[in-house]
Structure 1
C-alpha cells in the first residue's frame, strides 16, 4: 500500500482551492458563470462515466488511473493559462474526462488488490487513511497556495500540474491487477449490468441519498471564499482557513471505520447530514455560523463517501466493478447539477439565504429518509460471488 499512499499524497488540489473563485473572478467571470462552469464539469462527468468505467474494466484499472491523472495534469496547467469563459469550459471538460477515468478505477483497484490479499474488510480503513493523507497534504498545500496566489493567481494551478504529473509516474509503478476475461464486461453487457446493480433494492436508496449529501457539500463549497471574505477573513488568510478545514476532514476520513462501528452505516447516513443541515439552516439567524458549517460539511463528506464506497464494493462482483462505481459517480453528477445551479441562483440574491435554504432542504430530506427507512441497509453484509 506504500505506493498507493504516496500517490494519494500527490492527489491534492489544495494549492488551487484558496484562490479558485478569486482567480475566476479576476478573469471577470460572474458568479452565475462560475456555477455554469461547475454544471459543465458535472455534465462532462455524467457523459463520460459509463464509457470510461468500461475502459477501466477492459484496459486495466491502473492504466486508466495513469491516463486520467495525466489528463487532469494537462487540464490544471491549461486552467492557469486561459482567461475566457469558453476556454475555461473546454478546460473543465478535459478535467472531467480525466476525473471519470479515475473515479471508478481508483476504488476498484484498491478493493480488488485488498480482496486478493484477503483484506477486503480493511477497505474503509485503507481508503480512509489514503484520503486523510490527501487532505493533510491539501491542508499544507492550501497554506502555500494562499501565498502563491499573492504573487499570481495562475501560479498555484501551474505548480499543481507538476505535482499531478509526478502522481501519474507513481501510478505507473503501482502493481497492475489482472482481471480474468470472464470478469470483463463487453460493451453490450455493461449497461444492463449497471442498470441492474444501481436499481437493486440494497443499492438504489444508498446511492441516491449519498449523491444528495455530496451535492450539498459540493454546492456549498463554492460559497466558502466569498462568504469568508464577507465575514471579515482577509483574503491572504484563506489558505490557513482552508488548511483548518482540510485537517479536520482528514481526521474524519481517518476515522471512517470508527464512525461506522460507532453509529452503524445507516445511523451515520442520517446523523451526519442531519447535523450539517441544522448548522447550515442556522446561518440565516447567525451568519457567522457559516464558518463552522463549512468545516462540518467537509468533515461529514469524506467519511460518508468512504463508507458508501465500501458498502457498494461489498455488493459488487469483480466483473464490471469499475463500471458500476463509475455509474455511481454518474448519479452523483446528475444530482449535483440542479443543486449547484439552484444554489448559484439564490446566492446571487444572498449567499446566506442560499446556505440556510439548502440546509433546510437537507433537514427535510433527512426526516424523509429517517422516517421512511429509504436507505435502510439491514445487517447483511453479503457480496455477490465473482
Structure 2
C-alpha cells in the first residue's frame, strides 16, 4: 500500500498539512507507547510482542479502508505508531539475544542487513502489485496488505524463544522501575547519548521526506507518461508509482545487504558521520534542479537501509541484555520525537509552496540540527572502533 497511500489520503480529501499531522500522530503514539511496549516485550517475551505488533499492523490498512474523516485517519495512524512500538525494540532484541545464545552476536549487522534485503525484494513485487490494484479499485492494495500482515502473525508463531525468557521467575522480577533505570542509565551518557540523537535526526529527515515521494514523483513522471505509450497502452501513474517504489526498494535491498561490507570497508565512524551529511546535502539540489528529486529519493531510501543494521548493531553492543527491548524502544521513541518538527515543517512548506521546497527545507533543518549536535558532543568519538567484526559478508 505504501506507493499509493498518500494518493489515497488525498483522494479521501486530506490536505498536505493534514497528512503531515497524521504522520505526527504516528510519532506521538510511538513516543507515548515506546517504553511501555518495550517493557511489555521484556516481560512477555520478544516473540509475543512481535505477534501483537503484526496483528496491529494488519488492522491499520483495514482501518484506512473504512475511514472517511480526518479524525478517523488520525486514529488509524495513531494505531500504526503503537504497532511500530511493539516491533521496534523487540525485533532487534530478539535477533541479538538469539545470536547471543549461539555466541554469534558479531553476525548481527550481516544477518539484520540480509533479512532486511529479503523483505525489500519481496516488497518490490508487492509494491508493483499495489499500484496495479489501485487502478482497479483504490481500496484493494489496503485489503491485500491486511491479508498479508495477518499471515505474518502466523509466521511469527514459529519463531523460537530466546533463553532470556525460559524462566517466568526472571521476567516477573523485571519491574517497571527497572525499565526506566535501564533507559536513563544507558541513554543519558556516552557512548549512546549523542549517537542516538544524531542518528535520530537522519531517520526523522527521511521519514518526513517520504510523505512527498508520491506527489513529487507523480508530477515528475506525469509529462513522460502522457507523451509515451507502452505497447499501445497508456501506463497509469499509480502503476508507475508502484514500479518506482519497487525500484526504490530494490536499491534499498542492495544497501541493506551490503551494510556489513560498508562497515568493514569504511569503518563504523566514517559511515555514521558521512552518510547523514551527504544525504542531507543532496536534498538541497532539487530546489535548483527539480528533476533531481527522484535520484535524491533513491539516495535517502538507500541511506536508511544501510544505516539501520549498522546503528542497531552499535546500540545493541552497548546495551545490557536484560531490558534490551526497553532500551531499544526508548531509542525508537527518540526517533519518533525528532520526527515531529520535520513532519510539521514539511507539511506547511508543501501547502505554502510545493513539496519540492518542503524536501529542501527538511534538508536545511537537518544540517542546522546536526551542526548543533556536533558542537554539543561528537556522536561517535575518534577512538571508537568496531566492537564486533562481521565474519561473514555473503
> Structure 2-normalised TM-score?
0.89
Q: How far 1:314 sits from its partner (Å)?
A: 0.5
Partner of 1:331: 334
Q: Tell me whether 1:276 sits opposite 2:276 in the alignment.
A: no
Which of 187, 210, 233 is residue 221 of structure 1 equivalent to?
210
Which of 108, 128, 139 is residue 124 of structure 2 equivalent to?
139
How many residue pairs were aligned?
368
Which of 86, 92, 95 is residue 110 of structure 1 equivalent to?
95
Describe how 1:55-204 pairs up with structure 2 within 5 A: 55-179=40-164, 181-182=169-170, 185-204=174-193
Cα distance in structure 2, aligned partners of 1:373 and 1:89? 36
Deviations 1:212-262 (A, max 9, x none): 000000011111111112223452311111111110010000000011111
SS in 2 for 1:80: helix
Q: How far 1:357 sits from its partner (Å)?
A: 2.2
Which 10-residue stretch deviates more, 351-360 or 282-291? 351-360
Q: How far 1:192 sits from its partner (Å)?
A: 1.8
- Larger CA Rg, structure 1 vs 2: 2
Cα distance in structure 1, aligned partners of 2:78 and 2:363? 29
* Aligned 8 A contact 1:256 1:306 in 2: yes
Segments of structure 1 that go 5 or more residues without pairing to the other structure are 1-15
Partner of 1:375: 379
Deviations 1:307-342 (A, max 9, x none): 111001011121100000000000000000111111
SS in 2 for 1:109: helix
Partner of 1:319: 322
Cα distance in structure 2, aligned partners of 1:262 and 1:381? 12
Deviations 1:195-227 (A, max 9, x none): 111112100111001100000000111111111
Cα distance in structure 2, aligned partners of 1:64 and 1:124? 22
Segments of structure 2 that go 5 or more residues without pairing to the other structure are 226-236, 389-394
Partner of 2:355: 351
The 3 A distance-change label for structure 1 pair 127 and 374 is: same
SS in 1 for 2:3: helix
Cα distance in structure 1, aligned partners of 2:242 and 2:385? 43
Deviations 1:115-148 (A, max 9, x none): 1111100000010011111111111111111000
Which of 305, 308, 313 is residue 310 of structure 1 equivalent to?
313
Q: Tell me whether 1:285 sits opposite 2:274 in the alignment.
A: no
Partner of 2:260: 257
Q: Tell me whether 1:245 sits opposite 2:248 in the alignment.
A: yes
Q: Tell me whether 1:212 sits opposite 2:204 in the alignment.
A: no
* Aligned 8 A contact 2:269 2:384 in 1: no
* Aligned 8 A contact 1:266 1:375 in 2: no
Q: How far 1:372 sits from its partner (Å)?
A: 7.0
The 3 A distance-change label for structure 1 pair 237 and 28 is: same
* Aligned 8 A contact 1:210 1:305 in 2: no
The 3 A distance-change label for structure 1 pair 143 and 198 is: same
* Aligned 8 A contact 2:37 2:85 in 1: yes
* Aligned 8 A contact 1:249 1:298 in 2: yes
SS in 1 for 2:208: helix
The 3 A distance-change label for structure 1 pair 30 and 297 is: same
Q: How far 1:162 sits from its partner (Å)?
A: 0.7
The 3 A distance-change label for structure 1 pair 105 and 295 is: same
* Aligned 8 A contact 1:81 1:154 in 2: no
Q: How far 1:370 sits from its partner (Å)?
A: 6.2
Partner of 2:229: none
